[in-house]
Amino acid sequence: MRKTFGASGRNSKHAILKSVIGGIAASVGVELFLHPHELIAGGVTGISGLVSFHTDNHFGMLLVLFNLPLLFFYSLLGRKKILLQVLPGLLAFAGSAFLLAPLPAVSGEPVIAALAGGLCLGFGGGLAVKSGGLLDALGLEKTDRIRSAGIQAGTRPAISVERLLLLCHALVLVTAGAALGWERTLYSAFACLAAYETAGIVIFGFRRLAGVTTANPRQVEAEMKSRLRLEGLAWNDAGIGHDRAREIDRDSDYARVSAQTRLIYSVHLLDVPRFKAVVRKADPQAEIVWVERSGMKQE
C-alpha cells in the first residue's frame, strides 16, 4: 500500500513538473516570437494576446483571468479535478510570460517567428496535455458533449465540443484580422497550425493507428508486408487477436476500431499516403478507419 502511494505521489510530481515545463515552453513561443510581431495563437491564449495589444493589461494576467471561467465551466462537464490539474501549468505559463515580456524578439522575420512560436506553443501545450493538464481552457477534450436543457428534453443530438472549438478559433482569427490586419492574421493562422500539429506529435507520437475493413484481408496483409513491411497488429473473424484485446480495450477508440476491422496497423505519419495507396490497390472497396486526436475518421 505504501509502495503504491509512493509511486502515485512520484507520478503526480512528474506530471506537475511536465505541465510547468510545458507552460514555460509555451510562454517562450508567445512572448519571444509571436507577440513581438503582434501575432496570436488560437483559443483563450489568442484572445488574451489580442486584448493585451489594445489595452494596458499584461498578457499573463489576462490569460489567467479569461481561463478561470471556462475552467469552472469545464469542471461542470464532469472534470471535478480539472483545476488542480491545470493550475500548475497555467500559472507557469502566465508567470513566465511576465518575466519574458521585457525581452526582445528572437527573430525579426514574421514567418520564422510564426513557425518557431507555433512549435514552442505546441510543444508546451502538448506536454501539458500529456501530463493531464491544459494551458488553454479551449483545449477541452473533443469527446465531451454540451447539452442544454432543451436539447436534453428533445431529440436533437448533442453539440460536439470539437465544432465549438473550431468555431471559437475561427472567430478569434477573424477578430484578429479585423483588428490587426489580414497579413498578420495569415501568419497567426500559420502559427496555430504549427502549434496544433506539434501538440499532436507530442501527445500521440509519430504513428497513427489505422483499421482496415476489407473482403480480402490476406491480400491486403500480403501487400503491406511486401511494399511497406508492415505487420498487422492483430486480425481474425472477431476483429481482434486475443493477444491485443486487453491492451486495446483500455481505450474506447481502439476498442471501437477493433470491433469494426479485421486488420489493424500502426502507420508512421510519413507513410500515410503510401499506406492508403497500397490498401486501395489491394482492395478498392476497402475502408480505412483512422484513430485520431478527435476520435475516428473513416475513408
**pTM here?**
0.68
On whether both 71 and 92 belong to a single domain, the answer is yes
Using the 3D structure, point to which of 183, 204, 225 is the last residue of a domain: 204
Contact 257, 264 (CB under 8 A): yes
Using the 3D structure, point to which of 175, 204, 233 is the last residue of a domain: 204
On whether both 52 and 97 belong to a single domain, the answer is yes
Condensed to tens digits (0 to 9), the pLDDT of residues 205-247 reads 888 888 888 888 888 888 888 888 888 765 544 444 434 433 4
Contact 195, 125 (CB under 8 A): yes
Supply the mean pLDDT for the chain: 76
On whether both 147 and 15 belong to a single domain, the answer is yes
On whether both 169 and 293 belong to a single domain, the answer is no
On whether both 34 and 51 belong to a single domain, the answer is yes
CB atoms near residue 112 (< 10 Å): 13
Condensed to tens digits (0 to 9), the pLDDT of residues 252-274 reads 444 444 444 578 888 888 888 89
On whether both 56 and 133 belong to a single domain, the answer is yes
On whether both 215 and 150 belong to a single domain, the answer is no
The mean pLDDT value for 92-114 works out to: 90
How many distinct structural domains can be found in the chain? 2
On whether both 17 and 93 belong to a single domain, the answer is yes
Confidence of residue 33 (pLDDT cuts 50, 70, 90): very high
Residue 168 has a pLDDT of 74
Say which residue the cell 509555451 belongs to.
Answer: 26
On whether both 45 and 154 belong to a single domain, the answer is yes
The mean pLDDT value for 33-40 works out to: 90
On whether both 39 and 127 belong to a single domain, the answer is yes
Q: What angle do CA 119, 34, 189 make, to 5 degrees?
A: 70
On whether both 16 and 71 belong to a single domain, the answer is yes
Comparing C-alpha atoms, which of 137, 113, 109, 136 is closest to residue 124?
A: 136
Residue 260 has a pLDDT of 43
More confident residue, 54 or 72: 54
Residue 3 predicted with pLDDT over 60: no
Using the 3D structure, point to which of 188, 204, 220 is the last residue of a domain: 204
Which DSSP symbol is given to 104?
P
Condensed to tens digits (0 to 9), the pLDDT of residues 168-198 reads 777 887 887 777 788 888 898 899 889 888 8
SS3 212: strand
On whether both 127 and 270 belong to a single domain, the answer is no
Domain membership of residue 212 as a residue range: 207-298
